[in-house]
């Protein structure tokens, strides 16, 4: 979706009431010297183009390839993630949860929208919305089914409600048949939802024998 889509000649006739109010607010706060308009552009560029779930995918792929890294990640998530260059706001206290055959982890914030920004970027709309926030803690199997996920018989479910400043990242299980893939190829299998626990990684592309 394009953010800058207005031709200056028609600007005002095309703007929604919210666009007008937000622009008015930005103008007033800028005139008062409370904000640096250029800082807003840097903030937006950061979360639109630099910080997103591909960061988390790199963390997961590294853990899949390197047992020592994985052990560190599970022991001290913040430090292990920072070693790959991902740190800071809304990721100050990271805990990584390992999915296994026996245990599936799923993360929610029932109170607002707490989410590990440095590794996953801004949360998707559904994560911030009432249907997911209300049901994830009460009917996780139903929620998983809505995401198309059915867990094997005997897998128990653990739901983590992020009610303080600890942020959770799920380490999904490495897909079968991915043994020969490189770290970059593995990262491409790691979806955003698999790191929230509402999805599973993609399966490796069929390979010629």
Structure tokens at 21: 């109010």
Q: Is 11 in the site for another protein (CB under 8 A)?
A: no
How far apart are the C-alpha atoms of 136 and 113, rounded to whole Å? 13
User: Any catalytic annotation for residue 113?
Assistant: yes
CA 58 distance to own-chain centroid? 12
Q: Does 149 engage in binding with another protein (CB under 8 A)?
A: no
> Between the CA of residue 108 and those of 16, 73, 198, what are the distances in Å?
32, 20, 10
Asked whether 186 and 61 are in contact (CB, 8 A), the reply is yes
Instruction: Work out which of 65, 84, 137, 149 binds another protein, going by CB under 8 A.
Output: 137
Judge whether 65 counts as a catalytic residue.
no
Q: Which of 32, 180, 207, 209 binds another protein (CB under 8 A)?
A: 32
Whole-number minimum distance, CB 12 to another protein, in Å?
11
Touching another protein, residues 165-204 (CB under 8 A): 165-166, 191-193
Considering the complex, what minimum distance in angstroms separates the CB of residue 169 from another protein?
Answer: 15
Report yes or no: 170 and 192 within 8 Å, Cβ to Cβ: no
Of 65, 83, 113, 178, which one is the catalytic site residue?
113
Our finding on whether 1 is near another protein (CB under 8 A) is yes
155 contacts 92 by C-beta, under 8 angstroms = no
Is position 129 an interface residue for another protein (rule: CB under 8 A)? yes
Site map (CB under 8 A) of another protein, residues 87-126, x = contact: xxxxxxx-x--------------xxxx-------xx-xxx
Please report which helix (H) or strand (E) contains residue 157, including its range: strand 156-161
> Which residues form the catalytic set?
109, 112-114
């Amino acid at each position: 979706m394009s953010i800058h889509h207005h031709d200056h000649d028609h600007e005002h006739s095309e703007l929604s009431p919210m666009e007008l109010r937000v622009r008015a607010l930005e103008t007033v706060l800028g005139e008062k010297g409370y904000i640096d308009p250029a800082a807003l552009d840097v903030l937006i560029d950061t979360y639109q183009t630099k910080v997103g779930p591909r960061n988390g995918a790199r963390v997961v792929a590294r853990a899949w390839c390197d047992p020592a890294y994985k052990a560190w990640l599970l022991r001290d998530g913040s430090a292990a993630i920072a070693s790959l260059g991902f740190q800071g706001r809304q990721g100050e206290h990271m805990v990584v949860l390992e999915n296994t055959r026996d245990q599936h982890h799923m993360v929610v914030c029932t109170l607002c929208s707490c989410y590990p920004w440095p590794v996953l970027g801004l949360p998707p709309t559904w994560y911030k919305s009432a249907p997911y926030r209300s049901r994830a803690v009460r009917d996780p199997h139903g929620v998983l089914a809505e995401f198309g996920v059915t867990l094997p018989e005997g897998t128990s479910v653990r739901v983590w409600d992020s009610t303080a400043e600890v942020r959770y990242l799920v380490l999904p299980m490495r897909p079968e048949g991915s043994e020969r893939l490189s770290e970059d190829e593995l990262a491409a299998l790691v979806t955003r939802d698999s790191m929230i626990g509402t999805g599973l990684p993609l399966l490796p592309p069929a390979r010629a024998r």
